[in-house]
């Protein structure tokens, strides 16, 4: 009992810190792209197709009678399709040059177009975050696969229908697919940031968070009846669908999306924390560890810091934290499936 009280107090403390940080944190402007020297650099590059002694392939102006055409009109179609275009290259090299100048002056890095100045590796804009997203994808797949084998090959099935005794099997399968989808698009987005990858990343992430809230409500309140599940899920699914459509077809509002995601995330933490406190689930410790670790990880999105050596920022650290937490989370889900299956089969004897 003391352990559950301690866990619940820590969760409440972290949630309060998150709430205070969210209420009083100021939105940082993208100072870098407002810098006159940076803007001048980009404008000069767009006119000449070069940056000092750096010449970007396919971005130089022509001298065979069409020199009056802008560089973007001469850009090959396959480069435009890949979105690895001249404008992004010039912005990148101007950003790196400006950051070198700021470093010599002893000034801290600033954001450009809403993002920290990361150093590319080959075609990867944020190589560490991309790699960690791919690792999270693998961990999610491994967790879901072991969950599947546990239910259908290790635990007993209902003799009449060959279905599982665990009442939340289908819900966790959907959760697994949404998680893998979210981490897949996270890896794509951190590899190459363009409009489509940005929207798919935001949409898949908020879809996962929204569905996780629905699943949290159904599990913590033990909603097992199909009609009751529909009544609980329908309003939240309608809100979630409307929000995703707004982001994709009206305005990709980061502030609004952050507020919605934080509200749903905090609601899940409180519900799972209260459930762990009032129940005697054998894996409450695993759940509390995930909740505390996830809560502390959420703080990294508010108290952001520049990338260390141009590679490892707060968001990448959050991705690193989620890897062991995901192992523990799927372990709790499997324990819950075993616990419920054992409880139900004992009652039937």
83: left (phi over 0), alpha (psi -120 to 50) or beta: left
Choose from 77-91, 98-112, 218-232, 307-321 the range with maximum mean pLDDT: 218-232
In this prediction, residues 188-214 reach a mean pLDDT of: 93
What's the pTM value of the predicted model, to 2 decimals? 0.86
| End-to-end C-alpha distance for the chain, whole angstroms | 30
Q: Please tell me whether residue 164 adopts helix, strand or coil conformation.
A: strand
- Percent of the chain exceeding pLDDT 90 equals 46
What does the alpha-carbon distance between residue 320 and residue 342 come to, in Å, rounded to a whole number?
A: 34
Looking at residue 39, its pLDDT comes to: 87
Structure tokens at 123: 């075609």
Predicted local distance difference test score (pLDDT) of residue 76 = 52
pLDDT in tens, 269-294: 989 988 988 888 999 999 999 998 88
What is residue 181's three-state secondary structure? Answer: helix
Fold of 2-27+122-348: Rhopdopsin 7-helix transmembrane proteins (1.20.1070)
pLDDT exceeds cutoff 60 at 341: yes
Mean pLDDT computed over every residue of the chain: 84
pLDDT at site 111: 86
Instruction: Average the pLDDT over 54-79 and give the result.
Output: 49
Least-confidence region, from 22-26, 127-131, 203-207, 299-303: 22-26
The Cα 240–Cα 242 span in angstroms is 5
Residue 13 predicted with pLDDT over 70: no
Query: In DSSP terms, which residues pair with 121 in a beta bridge?
Result: 124
Percent of the chain scoring above 70 in pLDDT: 81
Calculate Rg over the CA atoms of the chain. 24
307 contacts 313 by C-beta, under 8 angstroms: yes
232 vs 113, higher pLDDT: 232
Burial label for 113, CB within 10 Å (0-12, 13-18, 19+), is exposed
3 confidence band (pLDDT: 50, 70, 90): low
Q: Where in the chain is the domain with CATH 1.20.1070?
A: 2-27+122-348
pLDDT at 147 over 90: yes
Whole-angstrom distance, CA of residue 328 vs CA of residue 285: 10
Question: At a CB cut-off of 8 Å and minimum separation 6, what does 19 contact?
Answer: 266
Q: What is the mean pLDDT of residues 210-238?
A: 96
Whether residue 90 contacts residue 45, with contact meaning beta carbons closer than 8 Å, is answered with yes
Handedness of CA 223, 151, 288, 205 (dihedral sign): negative
| pLDDT score of 29 | 44
pLDDT at 167 over 90: yes
Question: Can you tell me the distance from the alpha carbon of 271 to that of 217, in angstroms, rounded to the nearest whole number?
Answer: 7
- pLDDT at position 4 is 57
């Amino acid at each position: 009992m003391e352990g559950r009280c301690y866990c619940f107090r820590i969760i409440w403390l972290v949630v309060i810190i998150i709430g205070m940080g969210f209420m009083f944190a100021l939105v940082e402007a993208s100072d870098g792209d407002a810098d006159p020297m940076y803007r001048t650099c980009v404008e000069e590059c767009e006119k000449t197709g070069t940056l000092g002694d750096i010449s970007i392939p396919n971005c130089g102006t022509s001298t065979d009678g069409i020199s009056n055409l802008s560089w973007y009109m001469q850009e090959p179609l396959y480069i435009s399709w890949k979105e690895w275009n001249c404008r992004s290259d010039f912005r990148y090299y101007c950003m790196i040059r400006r950051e070198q100048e700021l470093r010599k002056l002893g000034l801290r890095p600033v954001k450009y177009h809403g993002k920290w100045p990361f150093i590319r590796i080959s075609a990867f804009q944020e190589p560490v975050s991309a790699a960690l997203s791919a690792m999270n994808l693998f961990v999610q797949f491994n967790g879901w696969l072991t969950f599947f084998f546990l239910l259908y090959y290790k635990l007993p099935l209902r003799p009449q229908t060959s279905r599982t005794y665990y009442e939340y099997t289908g819900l966790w399968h959907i959760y697994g697919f949404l998680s893998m989808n979210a981490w897949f698009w996270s890896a794509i987005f951190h590899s190459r940031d363009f409009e489509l990858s940005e929207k798919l990343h935001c949409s898949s992430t908020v879809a996962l968070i929204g569905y996780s809230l629905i699943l949290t409500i159904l599990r913590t309140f033990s909603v097992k009846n199909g009609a009751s599940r529909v009544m609980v899920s329908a309003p939240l699914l309608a809100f979630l669908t409307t929000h995703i459509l707004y982001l994709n077809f009206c305005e990709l509002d980061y502030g609004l999306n952050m507020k919605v995601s934080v509200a749903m995330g905090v609601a899940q933490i409180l519900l799972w924390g209260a459930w762990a406190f009032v129940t005697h689930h054998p894996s409450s410790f695993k759940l509390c560890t995930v909740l505390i670790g996830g809560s502390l990880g959420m703080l990294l999105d508010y108290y952001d810091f520049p990338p260390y050596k141009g590679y490892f920022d707060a968001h990448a650290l959050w991705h690193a934290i989620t890897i062991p937490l995901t192992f523990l989370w799927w372990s709790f889900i499997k324990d819950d499936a075993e616990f419920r299956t054992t409880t139900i089969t004992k009652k039937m004897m």
